[in-house]
Structure 1
Amino acid sequence: MNQIGLVGRLVREIELKEVGEDKVVLNNTLAVAKRGKKENGSQADFIPIVAWGQVAKLMQLYCEKGHMVGLTGRIQSRSYVNKEEETVFIVEMVVDEVHFLQNKKIEAAAVSK
């Protein structure tokens, strides 16, 4: 079984890329807090994420950099050859569902009051 659930903060602003006819993809990183604290503050793991289609569009509408989200999906590994002709291996989370733990529209209303 290949299932994963993570809660963390988005590291970058949301950007969708079109990859073919009516296909969009979102690539970002999720900062997931580690238990306990180190001397210099809290620690986090930085997990690459990829979302496709409707999930990606929803994340673009309701999320921004720094927002806390809950994600469910699966782990995927892949590789490619870079410009230097070296093989690069990637392990990332493919997002199937997003749970909005912060709403940017609510935050914007609170800031404007």
Structure 2
Amino acid sequence: MNQIGLVGRLVREVELKKIGEDRVVINNTLAVAKRSKKENGPQADFIPIVAWGNVAKLMQLYCEKGHMIGVTGRIQSRSYINKEEETIFTVEMVVEEVYFLQNKKAEPITG
């Protein structure tokens, strides 16, 4: 079984990218608090996340950097070749559902 659920804060602004003519994706990182017995303040794990399609569109509409969200999905591993022609291996969470734990991002005031 490959299922995961996380609650954390988005590390970067949400940027929707078009892939081809009809696919959209968001790549971001979720800072997930972890318990620590150290006295040097809060600790976090930084989990790469990717969301496709309608989930990505919803995240773009309702989320911004620093927002607390809950996500469920699955872990995937993949590899790619970077500009220096090195093979990079990565593990990331594919978001299948998102839960908005804060209000919609503020709309700009015009006029």
Residue in structure 1 matched with residue 109 of structure 2 by the alignment: none
Alignment of 1:24-35 (within 5 A): 24-35=24-35
Residue in structure 1 matched with residue 51 of structure 2 by the alignment: 51
Task: Tell me by how many angstroms 1:37 deviates.
Answer: 4.7
Matching residue's letter, 1:102: Q
- Look up the SS of the partner of 2:42 in the other structure: strand
- Look up the SS of the partner of 1:59 in the other structure: helix
Residue in structure 2 matched with residue 17 of structure 1 by the alignment: 17
Alignment of 1:66-105 (within 5 A): 66-104=66-104
Matching residue's letter, 2:34: K
CA distance in 2, matches of 1:58, 1:48: 18
Q: How many residues align?
A: 107
More helix by share: 1
Task: Tell me by how many angstroms 1:104 deviates.
Answer: 2.9
- The answer to whether the 8 A contact 1:37-1:43 is kept is no
CA distance in 1, matches of 2:75, 2:57: 21
The TM-score, its normalising length taken from structure 2, stands at: 0.91
- The answer to whether the 8 A contact 1:17-1:24 is kept is yes
Unmatched segments (≥5 aa) in structure 2: 107-111
RMSD: 1.4
Q: % of aligned pairs identical?
A: 86
The TM-score, its normalising length taken from structure 1, stands at: 0.89
CA distance in 2, matches of 1:85, 1:39: 42
Deviations 1:78-103 (A, max 9, x none): 00111222110010000000000011
- Look up the SS of the partner of 1:89 in the other structure: strand
- Stretch of structure 1 that moved more, 18-27 or 36-45: 36-45
Residue in structure 2 matched with residue 41 of structure 1 by the alignment: 41
